[in-house]
């Protein structure tokens, strides 16, 4: 019998240590089904103390630990390698809302709380928790914090980092650090909280967090605008920000091909225009006054954009159902691309003003090197973040295309680098981009990151093979 797993059973209960293949399978393969790892087992603790006790055992038996939330990550961060030496530590049983403070405007939740449940808890308390992404029905707040997730509300509310005031963390030595402070100001030394956010489980395990809440908007309006080029979309962004300021809460770009894919794989989702257009932008306005006020602003933006020839068509959702169906078009791009087959993802950011040039130049370079590749370009234009995804040429087998992944990545990422951008704007590095990042970060930066890792996790048991 495995002594280590037996001791884990004594901590969490025998039924919370999964070892049968049928039980562990969903925890070992990534969301995109690109990689399947192996593990000694999946351990499912129910409290920070149980997490700490398991991590102590991992130290004692030198067992690597892979923290996992909803397993929706896109960079192979949440699954173990193929050695079979690690455990997956699933946080999904730790899903309670611990407290809501309506004066402080904060909510304290456990790491395994599903994002959508957190949004609902905030709404039921009359507040908004603004983090929103396509995987919100299954990703967890612990995973969101560990990847510093972005999503569609960053333009107004910031990344997950900006939404977090305090953390509870189990260190790689198995101690519990209670940093659950709901303070908006706290300059008492190094910011440990920010070190764990975005660390992809390589520095410790987040077990709970204090998060910011916001007033619920009085009105929320959605519109879809059609235009010729990404540069036109940037002009629209400038116009909308100028007229709406902080009321502009979403600004998502989608190319014609993205929506063709959605329509092909989800035929019930239709574009609301009679004719197609090369580019589309989904705009969202959130207003603290009234629906009429929001509508007046939105109509003014659309009228000006039409008059100036920036866009050639637009629809404003007239109901919540219509608004949802516009958002569904956007959110189904990832799913439609997965249905279409294997693809190579690039989650990049460049200065917002340079997005048009980046797309133009990189499209040319890619078509020259890999003729016929199909570009699935969409993303959070208001944040300078593009999902510059590449699907194989129609006639090419998926696997033959994926074999060229390194070469495709190099064309795209070198271009990102020339444009002073980042090769991971929101999904993180995981195991997927761990080698790649060394081409673009300086030796100084890599050494500083390695020094932090060595200081916090000298036994190297926390999510090995990820980031570094
Ligand atoms: P997991 O996938 O389980 O883990 C992600 C990483 O965090 C891993 O390295 C894991 O080890 C670590 N981790 C998880 N929980 C903890 C913890 N408690 N303590 C320490 N480390 C932990 N991402 C965006 O940023 N923006 C988007 O718009 C977006 N849209 C998406 C849409 C779809 C359809 C899908 C499938 C994914 C999308 N993602 C997006 C990616 C993904 O949903 C996010 O990265 C999300 O934050 C991951 O949360 P999770 O709970 O699934 O984490
Ligand atoms: C999104 O913005 C996600 O929808 C997923 O970040 C992006 O599929 C992708 O590449
Ligand atoms: Zn995204």
pLDDT in tens, 86-124: 999 999 999 999 999 999 999 999 999 999 999 999 999
Contact 63, 461 (CB under 8 A): yes
Mean pLDDT, the chain, rounded, equals 97
Which one of 74, 135, 177, 462 would you pick to mutate in the ligand 1 pocket, going by the greatest count of ligand atoms within 8 A of its CB? 135
Cα 413 to Cα 362: distance, rounded to the nearest angstrom: 9
Question: Is the shortest distance between the CB of 135 and ligand 1 below 6 Å?
Answer: yes
Nearest listed ligand to the Cα of residue 153: 1
> What distance lies between CA 343 and its chain's CA centroid?
18
CA of 293 to the centre of ligand 2 (A): 32
For residue 45, report the distance from its CA to the centre of ligand 2, in Å.
30
Pick the CATH number of 97-215 from 2.40.340.10, 3.30.465.10, 3.30.70.1230, 2.40.10.220: 3.30.465.10
Ligand 3 centroid–CA 318 distance in Å is: 26
Atom of ligand 1 nearest to the CA of 32: 36
In this structure, which CATH number among 3.10.20.740, 3.30.43.10, 3.40.50.720, 1.10.10.10 belongs to the domain 3-90? 3.30.43.10
The rounded percent of the chain whose pLDDT value lies above 90 is 99
Q: Do domains 219-334 and 341-439 have the same CATH topology?
A: yes
Give me the pLDDT at residue 185, please. Answer: 97
- Pocket of ligand 1 contains residue 144 by CB under 6 Å: yes
Residue nearest ligand 1's atom 10 by CA: 78
User: CA 445 to CA 449: how far, in whole Å?
Assistant: 6
The predicted-structure confidence for 35-65, as pLDDT tens digits, reads as follows 999 999 999 999 999 999 999 999 999 999 9
> Can you give the pTM of this predicted structure?
0.98
List CB contacts of 377: < 8 A, sequence separation 6 or more: 253, 255, 257, 258, 359, 386, 387, 388, 389
Pair 449, 195: CB distance under 8 Å: no
* Ligand 1 and 69: CB distance under 6 A: yes
CB 2 within 8 A of CB 40: yes
Confidence of residue 433 (pLDDT cuts 50, 70, 90): very high
- From the CA of 376, give the closest atom in ligand 2: 10
pLDDT of residue 1: 67
The correct answer on CATH 3.30.365.10 for the domain covering 219-334 is no
For the chain, what are the domain ranges? 3-90, 97-215, 219-334, 341-439
pLDDT of 333 reads 98
**Structure confidence by residue, pLDDT tens digits, 234-246:** 999 999 999 999 9
For ligand 2, atom 9, name the residue with the nearest CA: 334
- Between CA 305 and CA 227 the distance in angstroms is 10
Distance in Å, CA 9 to ligand 1 centroid: 27
Q: How far apart are CA 110 and CA 98, in angstroms?
A: 7
CA 405 – ligand 2 centroid, Å: 18
Determine how many CB atoms are found less than 10 A away from the CB of residue 290. 11
Q: Which residues pair with 280 in a beta bridge?
A: 226, 254
DSSP conformation letters of 343-372: -B--EEE--GGGHHHHHHHHHHHHHHHSTT
| Alpha carbons 16 and 5: distance in angstroms, whole number | 11
* 247 within 8 A of 287, measured Cβ to Cβ: yes
Token pair recorded at residue 347:
């989650």
Give the pLDDT confidence of 161-197 residue by residue, as tens digits. Answer: 999 999 999 999 999 999 999 999 999 999 999 999 9
Looking at domain 341-439, does it have CATH number 3.30.70.2740? Answer: yes
Give the span between the Cα atoms of 399 and 405, in whole angstroms: 10
User: Nearest ligand, CA of residue 388?
Assistant: 2
User: For a pocket test of ligand 2, which of 31, 33, 74 has the largest count of ligand atoms closer than 8 A to its C-beta?
Assistant: 74
At 295-336, the pLDDT tens digits run 999 999 999 999 999 999 999 999 999 999 999 999 999 999
The rounded Å distance from CA 337 to ligand 1 centre is 19
Contact 418, 380 (CB under 8 A): no
User: Cα separation of 252 and 282, whole Å?
Assistant: 5
From ligand 1's centre to the CA of 147, what distance in Å? Answer: 6
Contact 14, 2 (CB under 8 A): no
Contacts of 451 (CB under 8 A, 6+ apart): none
Closest CA to 385 of 418, 360, 359: 359
Beta bridge partners of 169: 177, 206
Nearest Cα to Cα of residue 464 among 152, 141, 87 = 87
DSSP assignment letter at 108: E
Atom from ligand 1 closest to the CA of residue 428: 45
Q: What is the pLDDT of residues 126-144, one digit of tens each?
A: 999 999 999 999 999 999 9
CA–CA separation, 410 and 416 (whole Å): 10
* Distance from C-alpha of 394 to C-alpha of 363, rounded to nearest angstrom: 17
**Could you tell me if the CB of 77 is within 6 A of ligand 1?**
yes
E-only strand ranges, 217-288: 219-227, 248-255, 279-287
**What is the pLDDT confidence band of residue 424, given thresholds at 50, 70 and 90?**
very high
Q: How far, in Å, CA of 408 to CA of 401, rounded?
A: 9
Centroid of ligand 2 to alpha carbon of 74 (angstroms): 9
pLDDT digits (tens, 9 = 90+) for 361-391: 999 999 999 999 999 999 999 999 999 999 9
C-alpha to C-alpha distances, 225 to 276, 295, 377, 455, nearest whole angstrom: 11, 15, 16, 50
pLDDT score of 435? 96
Query: How many Å apart are CA 78 and CA 111, to the nearest integer?
Result: 14
């Amino acid at each position: 019998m495995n002594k280590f797993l037996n001791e884990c059973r004594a901590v969490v209960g025998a039924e919370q240590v999964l070892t049968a293949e049928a039980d562990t399978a969903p925890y070992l393969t990534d969301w995109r089904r690109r990689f399947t790892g192996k593990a000694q087992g999946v351990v499912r603790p129910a409290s920070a103390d149980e997490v700490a006790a398991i991590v102590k055992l991992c130290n004692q038996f030198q067992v690597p630990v892979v923290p996992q939330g909803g397993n929706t990550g896109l960079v192979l961060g949440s699954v173990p390698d193929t050695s079979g030496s690690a455990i997956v530590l699933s946080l999904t049983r730790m899903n309670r809302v611990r407290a809501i403070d309506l004066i402080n405007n904060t909510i304290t939740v456990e790491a395994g709380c599903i994002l959508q449940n957190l949004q609902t808890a905030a709404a039921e308390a009359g507040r908004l928790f603004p983090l929103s992404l396509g995987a919100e029905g299954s990703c967890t707040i612990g995973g969101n914090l560990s990847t510093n997730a972005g999503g569609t509300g960053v333009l107004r509310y910031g990344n997950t980092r900006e939404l977090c005031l305090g953390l509870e963390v189990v260190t790689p030595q198995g101690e519990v650090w209670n940093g659950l402070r709901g303070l908006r100001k706290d300059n008492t030394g190094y910011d440990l909280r920010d070190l764990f956010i975005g660390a992809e489980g390589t520095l410790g395990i987040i077990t709970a967090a204090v998060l910011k809440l916001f007033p619920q908007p009085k009105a929320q309006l959605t519109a879809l605008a059609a235009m010729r080029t990404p540069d036109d979309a940037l002009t629209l962004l400038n116009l909308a920000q100028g007229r709406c300021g902080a009321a502009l809460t979403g600004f998502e770009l989608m190319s014609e091909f993205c929506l063709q894919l959605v329509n092909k794989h989800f035929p019930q989702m239709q574009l609301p225009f009679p004719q197609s257009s090369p580019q589309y932008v989904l705009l969202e306005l959130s207003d603290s006054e009234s629906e009429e006020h929001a509508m007046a602003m939105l109509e003014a933006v659309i009228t000006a954009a039409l008059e100036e020839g920036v866009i050639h068509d637009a629809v404003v959702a007239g109901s919540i159902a219509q608004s949802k169906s516009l958002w569904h078009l956007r959110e189904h791009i990832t799913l439609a691309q997965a249905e279409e087959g294997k693809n190579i993802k690039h989650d990049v950011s460049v200065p917002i003003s340079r997005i048009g040039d980046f797309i133009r130049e990189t499209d040319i370079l890619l078509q020259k090197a890999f003729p016929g590749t199909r570009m699935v370009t969409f993303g959070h234009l208001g944040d300078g973040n593009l999902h510059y995804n590449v699907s194989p040429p129609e006639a090419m087998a998926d696997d033959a295309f994926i074999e060229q992944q390194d070469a495709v990545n190099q064309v795209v990422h070198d271009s990102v680098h020339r444009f002073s951008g980042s090769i991971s704007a929101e999904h993180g590095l995981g195991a997927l981009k761990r080698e790649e990042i060394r081409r673009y970060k300086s030796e100084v930066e890599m050494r500083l990151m390695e020094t932090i890792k060595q200081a916090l996790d000298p036994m190297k048991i926390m999510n090995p093979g990820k980031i570094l």
